[in-house]
Amino acid sequence: MIRLFKVKEKQRELAENSNGGSPVKKQTAGELRLHKDISELNLPKSCSITFPNGKDDLMNFEVTIRPDEGFYLGGTFLFSFQVSPVYPHEAPKVKCKTKIYHPNMDLEGNVCLNILREDWKPVLNINTIIYGLYHLFTEPNYEDPLNHDAAAILRDNPKLFESNVRRAMHGGYVGQTHFPRCI
């Protein structure tokens, strides 16, 4: 009986390979959904998407955001996205690769965005996440911080916060922390 299954499996492999190339890799449901999401992207002009590992690896990509208003005007911020094979039932893992002074992002690149955590639902998509990230630049939220110091300064002294953001974006220090230039 076991031998019969091996013969059938070998015949299937030969049939797949007979059309000239390597066997076609079957896409997971997550890859199919992600392909649909990416093909339907409607990004603002200030956002772009790239695939550093090539178009064959849709599950890992980068998004660049260049805010055109707010405290972060003129900056360039890079985010990495890692999408699970069970997407959309699990939110993508998003990290900010640009070191940034922001109440909703820590110095390790973790992002505090509700739709990436407790408010994630399978009806949400990549476009929604990118708009959510963009919104963090136009309206930073001091009520749900990862960087508590930045949040307190934004809440208590918005002018000082703006000065700190500018200094950080121009490659300076905020407190004891150095930020690379991103403007």
Q: Is 47 a catalytic residue?
A: no
- Does residue 95 sit in helix, strand or coil? strand
In angstroms, the CA 151 to CA 132 distance is 18
Tell me which residue has tokens 């990509």: 61
The architecture of the domain spanning 28-178 is: Roll (3.10)
Nearest CA among 111, 134, 109 for reference residue 47: 134
Domain spans of the chain?
A: 28-178
Per-residue pLDDT of the chain (183 residues; tens, 9 = 90+): 445 455 556 556 655 655 555 555 688 889 999 999 999 999 999 999 999 999 889 999 999 999 999 999 999 999 999 999 999 999 999 999 999 999 999 999 999 999 999 999 999 999 999 999 999 999 999 999 999 999 999 999 999 999 999 999 999 999 999 999 999
Choice among 47, 96, 112, 182 that is catalytic: 112
